[in-house]
Chain A
Amino acid sequence: MTKWLETHLPKMVLAPSFIAVLVFVYGFIAWTAWVSLTRSRLLPKYEIEGFIQYERLFASPRWDTAINNLFIFGALFIIIAMVLGLLLAILLDQKIRTEGMIRTIYLYPMALSMIVTGTAWKWILNPGLGIQATVRSWGFENFSFDWLVNPDFAIYTIVLAAVWQSSGFVMALFLAGLRSVDEEIIKAAQVDGIPTWRIYSAIIIPSMGPIFMSAFIVLAHLAIKSFDLVIALTGGGPGYATDLPATYMYAMAFSRGDIGQAASSAMIMMLVVFTIVVPYLYSELRAKND
């Protein structure tokens, strides 16, 4: 009996987590996929009708805006957060005193809910109160910073807040990467009199490929899932100028009573994430076999 337990217990204790994830995630995704192929509106229906929901989705100007926003937001957010994160990591890598405290402060935005920190951001971005009003009160009467209420620019305020939230996190990832570079190589380069910036650009950073990859994956999936940010800052407005796919889905499911549209938009988001996650899993698994 004990022998049997010792061989089978490891599998038995793994089973609950395994089954929970399997049913909870894939079972429910399958339900969503099914419903996305029906004529469901206010209530779910289960007769498959084909791709009509997807046709409606791609004909919808609001979905069009959400997808455009996702590309603008995603690209800017990922690039800016990575560049800033890398610069901050290099700064903290200079043997700075009180590094532990600084690191914690840089990570605070990530540890706090955007719904809550959005309070301050709404004040900062409000033309009548925050940056615009402050700079004008210094005598620059023509200074203008009204992105939050300008439909053409509101999406950039989402980028701003997202970068604020995540660059400390990217910094922490890169800092770990910088520290894992072989000290001997760096010392040898210093002995040869190579300037510090060349050591970074030619030796350290090129050896951090995998870290760039994981930072990219994490930021990309954060961008696609972004929901709190938009709800906290603009609520999708002005109009639906700052809608992202997640808020589109939310609006369809809960205020428009259109389950079919909600399900089909969710499936499109799934597909996009899958195309990012699958190469990542593949490269991780290959790394394991090396």
Chain B
Amino acid sequence: MGRKILIIEDDRETANYLRRGLEQEGHSIEHVANGQDGLYMATGASFDLVILDRMVPVIDGLSVLRALRAARVETPVLILSALGSVGDRIEGLECGSDDYLVKPFSFAELLARVNALLRRSESRVASDPRLTVGDLEIDPLSRTVKRGGKKIDLKPREYLILEYFARNEGRVVTRTMLLERVWEYHFDPGTNVIDVHVSRLRRKLDEGFERPLLHTVRGAGYMLAA
């Protein structure tokens, strides 16, 4: 189902690239090239997501974000920025953004994050806190995991990874998303840390079962799907 996304980005090429890609995904896109128009649009109309470049003219991205949050506009905001140091990312998140993506980025990375944010903006009240993916059952309260009725023992971090996957069922989760959401680290560890953890989780999850649940999505990341 298509959603409404506002792109505030002054670089025409990046904006077109985003628009094309997201429209192909079925979303409807509004685009403005400066912070002032962006703030006006974001407060006036209702969007499911705002993609905000940090360095836009007239009003800079972070000021737009602060103004939005001060006006109690709780639309999820994804910041795009060429400022990629750890300090910059933290600053962006502390201003009230929901995600921070550093340029240059792959479209797969952006799409995965956009989908994760759109999922969050879906207001659904679950009567059952339990998460199920196929024959996998996760109980966030007791932090127990069962597959096919059989209990699976996970280490705390493995549980957190699985829960994050389950909450994004059927959507791509990238390595940096896992690093940021599960470990809450905003630096690039450089090696295969995430892969190693995911493959351990996969062994516990899928070994002995005919149908794998945890899939690798080439060039993007992973996906938990039945």
Same complex for A and B? Answer: no
- Chain B residues at the A interface, C-beta cutoff of 8 Å: none
- Chain A residues at the B interface, C-beta cutoff of 8 Å: none
